[in-house]
Chain A
Amino acid sequence: MNAVTPVLQTGAPRMALVGNPNCGKTALFNALTGSRQKVANYAGVTVERKEGSFTTPEGRRVQVLDLPGTYSLRARSPDEEVTRDVVLGRFKGEAEPDLLVCVADATNLRLVLRLVLELKQVGRPLLLALNMFDIAKHRGIEIDVDRLAAELGVPVVPTVAVRKAGTVDLLKHIDAQVVDLALAAAQGVSQGANTWHEPSAEEVRATHREADRIIKLAVRPPTKPDTWTTRLDAVLLNPVAGLLILLTVLFFMFQAVFTWAQPAMDGIKAGFDALAAWVNGAMPDGILRSLITDGIIAGVGSIVVFLPQIVILFTFIILLEDFGYMPRAAFLMDKIMGGAGLHGRAFIPLLSSFACAIPGIMATRVIDNRRDRLATIMVAPLMTCSARIPVYTLIISAFVPDRPVAGVFALQGLVMFGLYAAGILSALLVAFVMRRLVWRGTVEPFLMELPAYKVPDAKNVVMSVWTRAKAFLQRAGTTILSIMILIWFLSSFPGAPEGATEPAIDYSIAGMIGHWLQPLVAPIGFNWQMTVALIPGMAAREVAVAALGTVYAVGGGEENVTALMDTLGHSWSLATALSFLAWYIFAPQCASTLAVVRRETNSLKWPVIMFVYMLTLAYLASLATYHVAASLGWA
């Protein structure tokens, strides 16, 4: 980086936040930028990119990038590679940062000072922000800020991200630094040379010793150590009590996502239905009306309806994360999840997927390692989501007799339980196969800091949840909407001819595809009506119920479930019904999930792999189920 960097000529100066995980970096980012931030992915990788901007007291606009947390520039994961490459100014498509701000948890300086020493080698303007300075003071940790700055050779500023005036000093320093940068650029002074190279183990030891020496000089250890963390951990990390508490927390969270979201979801659904009804009344019948009501309004509605679940789930996740519980949950679950080759942190996303795979897949962001995260994303849709329930209920009540088993269990309930169990077992099995066969020999070590517990800051939680909700609507919205319109098109064109006797969908492209696919699904016992129903059922799993109503011309769709049950009971054999249930355990019948996987993995490859493997499993499971059932004489 010997070249002269023209700083102010190229627009707002760019600042990058670097720091250890759990140092309060994101809280500082939120405090600086407020709502002026946007979340996206870095070009070509699955790593989240958070950028925002703020105006300094002297009226300068500064762009700020919140880089993934790391202990070293020596990158160990794709996230840390992003941090390294952006800091070094060699990330394709990212401008070089003009100023690095290293964020430190003032109560835990040892590891971050080593990082500061490494960052110094990069030769860019650097500033150390001692965050949570109030907590450090409260514990009696005395930091000689001037001495620290002198020993490190880097300006040091205390900050309190969660307090209103907590960033004033930092902003002043940024103003001063930006003036320096402008002067340096105007005078053609070059930045320091970049002498950073990947440190060897010996060099890591040497910087550790240097950091320890500086700490001895500038930091007095706490007079009131953090006993709360010790006391809480005694319970929360207790092998038995800790697991029970974790399960209780997760059960409560799952319940909340499942039940608290329902009124809001019903409200949203009713709102969109009312809107569609209003449009239907206000517009003449025709293609345009159908596009607006069945395509666009129904499509947007099907996205927005997930918003309450996402908001509730992320409120829980962010609260637990800010509190410092997430690494503990991973600690408790590591052995159990590890058996299937999954990371301890995969537990929460997988549990959320019982409500809906979409928030579940979004929640995989708590997993740092890319492969662990991808494995979790790939199996999340196998967990029985709530959209399968209407389909399961319909088929079970139409075909499974309502009689007790062994006196205490209801047969229908047992079948339902079996479907859930099949989902969980297959998810664990698929994860196991992926980790053992596809990504052989790369067992990520479980090595993570257990940060001190902290009371979550309400403002920070609200802001983080809002960012997530916004990202969901923006990112999933575009893809899901276009798929919905495509499915509407397939099911509506061409229209039924004059004097048609069959339902309109039968004459559409979806109907043609259904008939055309018929020979393929005959071996698994599906008739053409089922195949046709599965095409609009791609939009969302529960849509298949309404679509079956349409093809069987029962009418009224979901409202007329009893009539549909009767019709199905007469026209399907038991073997066909069981085959259909087996299909629904595995089939990738959800365009929204695939769209979110596309967004979250930032590639087409993973949703395609997901679609193919789930479809294959669905076909094989249905084939086996149908033939076993047929051989038992249920055909």
Chain B
Amino acid sequence: MHISPRPADLPAGPDHETVPADARPLSRAAKGEVGRVVRVGLNGALHDSLDPDELERRLLEIGFVEGARVEILHEGLFGRDPIAVKVDDMRVALRRREAEAILVTRWQPASLHAVAEDRRS
């Protein structure tokens, strides 16, 4: 899965200005990518499984906070879902649907190995 910056997709909100232009949801990240969380929560947008505020708090409580380092460690077989993410020094599994609510910036491949894997897919 290749990540292309799509700023038009960013939900509009009061703190839109503070989000870097290259920020994109964690749900679009591929295995091996590393980044930093810049915003948690859907900023008012609706989510199909949970109340957005509830989702935001659950993500915060399990460690997805602004500033946390995230790295995609593993992906599921079907539709590359769910994903296993390293959040700072712990590991969390979640579905891409929930990962939508986490905006991440400064993507970079974790290693050359990851780049090679990215090319293969």
Indicate which residue in B59, B78, B89 contacts A447 across the interface (CB closer than 8 Å).
B59
- Chain B residues with Cβ under 8 A from A114's Cβ? 61
In the complex, what residue of chain B is closest to A339 when comparing beta carbons? B78
Given contacts A201-B41, A448-B93, contact A336 B78 (CB under 8 A): yes
The 8 A CB mask of A306-350 against B (1 = contact, 0 = none) is 000000000000000000000100111011100000000000000
A559 within 8 A of partner (CB): no
A409 within 8 A of partner (CB): no
Smallest distance from the beta carbon of A507 to chain B beta carbons, Å?
A: 59
- Chain B residues with Cβ under 8 A from A108's Cβ? 89-90
- Chain B residues with Cβ under 8 A from A451's Cβ? 91
Decide: A445 and B76 in contact? CB cutoff 8 A.
no
Decide: B94 and A449 in contact? CB cutoff 8 A.
no
Indicate which residue in B40, B41, B48, B78 contacts A443 across the interface (CB closer than 8 Å).
B48
In the complex, what residue of chain B is closest to A230 when comparing beta carbons? B73
The 8 A CB mask of B54-77 against A (1 = contact, 0 = none) is 111111111101100000011111
Stretch from B2-10, B11-19, B20-28, B80-88 that touches the partner: B80-88
- Give chain A interface residues in 60-116, CB to chain B under 8 Å: 71-72, 74, 76, 108, 110-111, 114
Decide: A74 and B57 in contact? CB cutoff 8 A.
yes
Decide: B89 and A449 in contact? CB cutoff 8 A.
no
- Count chain B CB atoms within 10 A of each CB in A199, A330, A446 and give the residue with the most: A446
- Chain A residues with Cβ under 8 A from B79's Cβ? 335
Smallest distance from the beta carbon of B104 to chain A beta carbons, Å?
A: 17
Decide: A335 and B82 in contact? CB cutoff 8 A.
yes
Decide: A449 and B90 in contact? CB cutoff 8 A.
yes
A200 to B79 Cα, complex, angstroms: 34
Decide: B50 and A445 in contact? CB cutoff 8 A.
yes
In the complex, what residue of chain B is closest to A450 when comparing beta carbons? B91
Decide: A201 and B91 in contact? CB cutoff 8 A.
no
**Consensus secondary structure, chain B interface:** mixed
Indicate which residue in B61, B89, B91, B94 contacts A445 across the interface (CB closer than 8 Å).
B94
- The total of chain B residues at the interface (CB under 8 A) is 38
A239 within 8 A of partner (CB): yes
In the complex, what residue of chain A is closest to B79 when comparing beta carbons? A335
The 8 A CB mask of A543-555 against B (1 = contact, 0 = none) is 0000000000000
A267 to B40 Cα, complex, angstroms: 59
Decide: A447 and B92 in contact? CB cutoff 8 A.
yes
- Count chain A CB atoms within 10 A of each CB in B40, B62, B76, B77 and give the residue with the most: B76
Given contacts A204-B60, A446-B93, contact A237 B49 (CB under 8 A): no
A240 within 8 A of partner (CB): yes
Smallest distance from the beta carbon of A139 to chain B beta carbons, Å?
A: 11
Decide: B93 and A233 in contact? CB cutoff 8 A.
no
Decide: A447 and B98 in contact? CB cutoff 8 A.
yes
Smallest distance from the beta carbon of A354 to chain B beta carbons, Å?
A: 23
Decide: A237 and B62 in contact? CB cutoff 8 A.
no
Decide: B57 and A448 in contact? CB cutoff 8 A.
no
A447 to B79 Cα, complex, angstroms: 17
Smallest distance from the beta carbon of B26 to chain A beta carbons, Å?
A: 12
Decide: B62 and A449 in contact? CB cutoff 8 A.
yes
A199 to B27 Cα, complex, angstroms: 26
Decide: B59 and A443 in contact? CB cutoff 8 A.
no
A205 within 8 A of partner (CB): yes
Decide: A334 and B61 in contact? CB cutoff 8 A.
no
Given contacts A239-B75, A335-B79, contact A111 B62 (CB under 8 A): yes
A449 to B41 Cα, complex, angstroms: 19
Decide: A238 and B92 in contact? CB cutoff 8 A.
no
Given contacts A110-B88, A201-B41, A239-B76, contact A447 B62 (CB under 8 A): yes
- Chain A residues with Cβ under 8 A from B56's Cβ? 201
A473 within 8 A of partner (CB): no
A448 to B41 Cα, complex, angstroms: 18
- Give chain B interface residues in 34-50, CB to chain A under 8 Å: 40-41, 48-50
Decide: A239 and B73 in contact? CB cutoff 8 A.
no
- Chain B residues with Cβ under 8 A from A243's Cβ? 77
- Count chain B CB atoms within 10 A of each CB in A225, A332, A444 and give the residue with the most: A332
Smallest distance from the beta carbon of A342 to chain B beta carbons, Å?
A: 14
Given contacts A335-B76, A335-B77, A449-B90, contact A110 B82 (CB under 8 A): no
Decide: A238 and B74 in contact? CB cutoff 8 A.
yes
Decide: A76 and B48 in contact? CB cutoff 8 A.
no
B53 within 8 A of partner (CB): yes
Given contacts A331-B93, A447-B92, contact A205 B65 (CB under 8 A): yes
Decide: B92 and A450 in contact? CB cutoff 8 A.
yes
Smallest distance from the beta carbon of B87 to chain A beta carbons, Å?
A: 9
Given contacts A334-B95, A444-B49, contact A450 B63 (CB under 8 A): no
A229 to B92 Cα, complex, angstroms: 13
A221 within 8 A of partner (CB): yes
A433 to B6 Cα, complex, angstroms: 38
In the complex, what residue of chain A is closest to B54 when comparing beta carbons? A76
Indicate which residue in B76, B93, B97 contacts A327 across the interface (CB closer than 8 Å).
B93
- Chain B residues with Cβ under 8 A from A76's Cβ? 54, 58
20 sample A-B contacts, Cβ–Cβ < 8 Å, listed by A number: A71-B62, A111-B61, A111-B62, A201-B40, A201-B60, A204-B57, A208-B65, A225-B89, A233-B73, A237-B74, A239-B74, A239-B76, A331-B76, A332-B77, A335-B81, A446-B93, A447-B93, A449-B90, A449-B92, A450-B84
Shortest beta-carbon contacts, A-B, top 10: A239-B77, A450-B91, A443-B49, A237-B74, A335-B78, A71-B61, A204-B60, A331-B93, A445-B98, A447-B94
Q: Could you list which residues of chain A lie within 8 angstroms of chain B, going by C-beta atoms? A: 71-72, 74, 76, 108, 110-111, 114, 199-201, 204-205, 208, 221-222, 225, 229, 233, 237-240, 243, 327, 330-332, 334-336, 443-451
A221-B89, A233-B84 known, 12 other contacts, Cβ within 8 Å? A111-B62, A199-B57, A208-B60, A222-B89, A237-B74, A239-B75, A240-B77, A336-B78, A443-B50, A445-B95, A446-B98, A447-B98
